[in-house]
Amino acid sequence: MSHPRRPGNRKNVKKGFQFTLMVVGASGLGRTTFINTLCDAEVVPKRECDEPEMAHIEEGIKIKPYTVELDEDGVKISLTVVDTPGFGDMIDNEYCFQEILGYLEQQYDDILSEESRIKRNRRFRDNRVHALLYFIAPTGHSLREIDIELMKRLSPRINIIPVIGKSDSLTPGELADFKKRVMEDIAHHKIPIYNFPYDPEEDDDETVEENSELRSLLPFALIGCEEEVTVNGRKVRGRQYPWGVVEVDNPQHCDFVKLRYALLSSHFQDLKEITHDYLYENYRTEKLSRSTDSASDNDSGEEDEHSRLKEEQFKKEEGKLKEIEDRVQRELKEKQQELWTKEQQLMSLEANQVQVQ
Amino acid sequence: MSVDAESTQPILQSYVGFDSITSQIEKKLLKRGFQFNVMVVGQSGLGKSTLINTIFASHLIDSKGRTQPDEPTRQTVEIHSFTETVIERGVKLRLNIVDTPGYGDQVNNENCWEPIIKYIKDQHSSFLRKELTAMRDRFIQDTRIHCCLFFISPTGHSLKPIDIVVLKKLTEVVNVVPVIAKSDSLTIEERIAFKHRIKEEMAFHNIKLYPYESDEDDEQDAALNESIQDLIPFAVVGSEKTIVVDGKTVRGRQNRWGVINVENENHCEFIHLRNFLTRTHLQDLIETTSLIHYESFRSKQLLALKENGQQQQQQHH
């Protein structure tokens, strides 16, 4: 299942653009390392060595956005990566989903209220998240309950791209089987992930080929690495094991390069458009229908959020107008006062002159 | 001839032959066979079943992992017990493997350890009941868990809150041996740092792991135990598949960047774990279960029974 896609869309954006990516997964799956590998810099600081006394403390999930400026072949990208440390680490993880969902919907709410303003802020920053990378543990079996729950609950609000963290713990055979099972599981549970949609009728051959190749790689097998090692005389980003070196940028070893290209070059536009034209629109419709429904039902005590928002806006605008009115009145009065004073002065001057003559 | 208590032992003037008692015992025991009960605890997908099969060099248990899309996710922890007899050079080992699928796999894992602790205690309880029966069996079948392998996920960070809670509870009732599962996803540096952190955390929470110190240990035992304690948790890799390395057939994993040899000490600590469980501490694991864990359970139960009896007597008056 996939979201509908606008046909024939391959804009070549040479000027800079903005893209927001959220990364979700249990700790220890290489989430933070992936972010740093993607940006080729230590965007997210390495986890401080916690004291042993901290290990049993359940801190709960945190939402941490980081913005970094990248340059992809001359194209400037303002990339915001939202990290979610603490996801899945507690004994009871029910709360995690709501936190993330709340954050995503908050960004939509901000846009919604901004759109409803009479006078809009031209410098308003759009913080909507365009894609979510969900890290699956390399179990070799199939999806876990938390994986299914998360993807089900969040897919109505965001493009989800499932990935396999620390995929170097799987042999090529195990990886192929695992990918197949995960995708079967996703299909079985009818979870709408972002699967590089294309239309064989409408799109050109190149697009069809590119998208079906990316689709066949799902879920992307990832390895993260910030250090360089030397292999056969050349320096590569990789992990050194006693039995060999895993190279991050080698497409034979993992799907990192392909995913990076999709996110930062070929498919960011599609992801943004789906977010705006479909996901946000759905949210907007749902939210507004809820308010009109409750209004027509004459629910007592049920807060009509949207019209309350509108009312607030109106009140604000009214207040501003009143302020302007008052100011104008005051200035008028002041001017009148000035004039009157000047008049008085003139009159007394005249009177003096008459006396002098 | 009378011997002073403090003087040296009497010197035997001719060969008596009681030294053959060891082989007499051995003969009896060989006929009876040995029983070893091992439990595996850990999230699904950590290679528990594969590791058991690797340790005992045969396909004993199947993975209980979820593989079919229409298979529902487990909502509780289940206890699956499987018995198989393996023979090596005439020595019969009745192996009972207790798997705990569902542990740590739900969104809410609150109290997921309870069925496991209950199962362990139930085995002690059932043994005690059989012991206390007036007409009891000559040899009570021993279903008490002798060793619990606890699988730690190779995150490279630290123990999870749930690990700490469960380790605390488990170590009170059973011999616990922690292992770092699928350790081939950690580089050597990461592994060393990870182990160090885990040890610090276990020390902080006073988690008592097997092997325990004992006054009966001589120098050799103490030295061996120290080296084991140094290694714990064992960083393991399991495999039932074989590959050819340098002309030799070994159990291992083949990747695009190299071959992991399970039996190579430079790759992982599987050999140490295997030897520890089967070649050096097998008998001790069985014995300490009886002498320490069972005894502790037994005395608590009997004291409770006694108190209960006294209370009832008082009520009658």
- The minimal CB distance from A145 to the residues B69, B73, B188 is found for B73
Q: Indicate yes or no: CB of A139 within 8 angstroms of CB of B44.
A: yes
**Which residues have C-beta within 8 Å of that of residue A68, sequence separation ≥ 6?**
A39, A41, A43, A78, A79, A80, A81
**Which residues have C-beta within 8 Å of that of residue A101, sequence separation ≥ 6?**
A153, A154, A157
Sheet holding A131-136, edge to edge: A64-72, A75-83, A17-24, A131-136, A160-164, A220-221
Partner A contacted by B156 (CB < 8 A)? yes
Angle (CA) B142 B271 B198, round 5°: 85
Instruction: Judge whether A77 and A264 are in contact, CB under 8 Å.
Output: yes
Q: Indicate yes or no: CB of A93 within 8 angstroms of CB of B44.
A: no
Partner A contacted by B152 (CB < 8 A)? no
Which pLDDT value is given to residue A49?
Answer: 61
Q: In whole angstroms, what is the distance from residue B39 CA to residue B26 CA?
A: 27
Q: How far A322 CA lies from chain B's nearest CA (Å)?
A: 54
Interface of B with A in 210-249 (CB under 8 A): none
Query: Residue B3 pLDDT more than 60?
Result: no
Angle (CA) A184 A186 A192, round 5°: 135
| Whether the predicted model's global pTM rises above the 0.80 cut | yes
Minimal-distance CA residue of chain A relative to B239: A171
Q: Indicate yes or no: CB of A252 within 8 angstroms of CB of B256.
A: yes
Of residues B297 and A52, which shows the higher confidence score? Answer: B297
Helix (H, G, I), strand (E, B) or coil at A297: helix
Partner A contacted by B169 (CB < 8 A)? no
pLDDT tens per residue, range B58-113: 999 988 888 888 888 888 889 999 999 999 998 999 999 999 998 988 899 999 99
Instruction: Judge whether A33 and A225 are in contact, CB under 8 Å.
Output: yes
Q: Are strands B91-99 and B234-235 parallel, antiparallel or unpaired?
A: unpaired
Minimal-distance CA residue of chain A relative to B182: A169
Q: How far A36 CA lies from chain B's nearest CA (Å)?
A: 17
Distances (CA, A) of A252 to A122, A167, A223, A255, A258: 46, 12, 12, 8, 11
Mean pLDDT in chain B?
91
CA dihedral over B210, B212, B216, B217, signed as positive or negative:
positive
C-alpha B192 chain-centroid distance: 23
Q: In whole angstroms, what is the distance from residue A223 CA to residue A170 CA?
A: 11
Task: Residue B64: name the closest of B75, B54, B74, B76 by CA.
Answer: B74
Q: Indicate yes or no: CB of A181 within 8 angstroms of CB of B69.
A: yes
Q: How far B300 CA lies from chain A's nearest CA (Å)?
A: 29
Q: Indicate yes or no: CB of B162 within 8 angstroms of CB of A91.
A: yes
Q: Indicate yes or no: CB of B65 within 8 angstroms of CB of A239.
A: no
Q: In whole angstroms, what is the distance from residue B65 CA to residue A137 CA?
A: 13
Which residues in chain A are closer than 8 Å to B260, comparing Cβ atoms?
241, 243
Interface of B with A in 193-212 (CB under 8 A): 197, 200-201, 203-205
Name the token pair of B141.
């079948």
Q: How far apart are the first and last CA of chain A?
A: 102
Q: In whole angstroms, what is the distance from residue A72 CA to residue A77 CA?
A: 7
Which residues in chain A are closer than 8 Å to B191, comparing Cβ atoms?
none
**Which residues have C-beta within 8 Å of that of residue A268, sequence separation ≥ 6?**
A17, A19, A130
Which pLDDT value is given to residue A5?
Answer: 45
Which residues in chain B are closer than 8 Å to A240, comparing Cβ atoms?
187
B66: which DSSP letter? -
Q: How far apart are the first and last CA of chain B?
A: 61
Name the token pair of B60.
């004993």
Q: Indicate yes or no: CB of B160 within 8 angstroms of CB of A89.
A: yes
B139: left (phi over 0), alpha (psi -120 to 50) or beta: beta
Of residues B117 and A306, which shows the higher confidence score? Answer: B117
Determine how many CB atoms are found less than 10 A away from the CB of residue A322: 10
Q: Indicate yes or no: CB of A172 within 8 angstroms of CB of B256.
A: yes
Which pLDDT value is given to residue A328?
Answer: 81
Reading chain A (357 residues) residue by residue, the pLDDT tens digits are: 444 444 443 444 455 789 999 999 998 999 999 999 999 999 998 776 667 777 778 888 999 999 999 988 888 999 999 999 999 888 888 889 999 999 999 999 999 888 888 777 777 788 899 999 999 999 999 999 999 999 999 999 999 999 999 999 999 999 999 999 999 999 999 999 999 999 888 889 999 999 999 999 999 999 988 889 998 889 999 999 999 999 999 999 999 999 999 999 999 999 999 999 999 999 999 998 887 776 655 554 445 566 777 777 777 777 777 877 888 888 888 888 888 888 888 888 888 887 766
Which residues in chain A are closer than 8 Å to B205, comparing Cβ atoms?
56
Picking from B160, B195, B207, B246 by the largest number of A CB atoms within 10 A of its own CB, the best residue to mutate is B160
pLDDT tens per residue, range B223-245: 999 999 999 999 999 999 999 98
Instruction: Judge whether A165 and A25 are in contact, CB under 8 Å.
Output: yes
- The minimal CB distance from A140 to the residues B45, B158, B164 is found for B45
Which pLDDT value is given to residue A6?
Answer: 43
Minimal-distance CA residue of chain A relative to B155: A28
Q: Indicate yes or no: CB of A169 within 8 angstroms of CB of B44.
A: no
Q: Indicate yes or no: CB of A92 within 8 angstroms of CB of B109.
A: yes
Which pLDDT value is given to residue A3?
Answer: 47
Which pLDDT value is given to residue A54?
Answer: 75
Picking from B77, B158, B206, B260 by the largest number of A CB atoms within 10 A of its own CB, the best residue to mutate is B158
Which residues in chain B are closer than 8 Å to A241, comparing Cβ atoms?
184, 187-188, 257-258, 260
Which pLDDT value is given to residue A306?
Answer: 67
Q: In whole angstroms, what is the distance from residue A38 CA to residue A41 CA?
A: 8
Q: How far B163 CA lies from chain A's nearest CA (Å)?
A: 8
Q: What ipTM did this prediction achieve?
A: 0.88
Which pLDDT value is given to residue A303?
Answer: 54
Q: In whole angstroms, what is the distance from residue A53 CA to residue B200 CA?
A: 9
Minimal-distance CA residue of chain B relative to A56: B161
Interface of B with A in 129-148 (CB under 8 A): none
Which residues in chain B are closer than 8 Å to A137, comparing Cβ atoms?
45, 153
Instruction: Judge whether B238 and B179 are in contact, CB under 8 Å.
Output: no
Q: Indicate yes or no: CB of A244 within 8 angstroms of CB of B257.
A: yes
Q: Indicate yes or no: CB of A91 within 8 angstroms of CB of B161.
A: yes
Size of interface A-B (CB pairs under 8 A): 143
Task: Residue B248: name the closest of B257, B261, B265, B237 by CA.
Answer: B261
Which residues in chain A are closer than 8 Å to B188, comparing Cβ atoms?
241-242
Minimal-distance CA residue of chain A relative to B185: A169
Which pLDDT value is given to residue A245?
Answer: 94
Minimal-distance CA residue of chain A relative to B187: A241
Q: In whole angstroms, what is the distance from residue B48 CA to residue B33 CA?
A: 26
Q: Indicate yes or no: CB of B165 within 8 angstroms of CB of A56.
A: yes
Q: In whole angstroms, what is the distance from residue A33 CA to residue A45 CA?
A: 9
- The minimal CB distance from B107 to the residues A141, A146, A185 is found for A146
Instruction: Judge whether B129 and B181 are in contact, CB under 8 Å.
Output: no
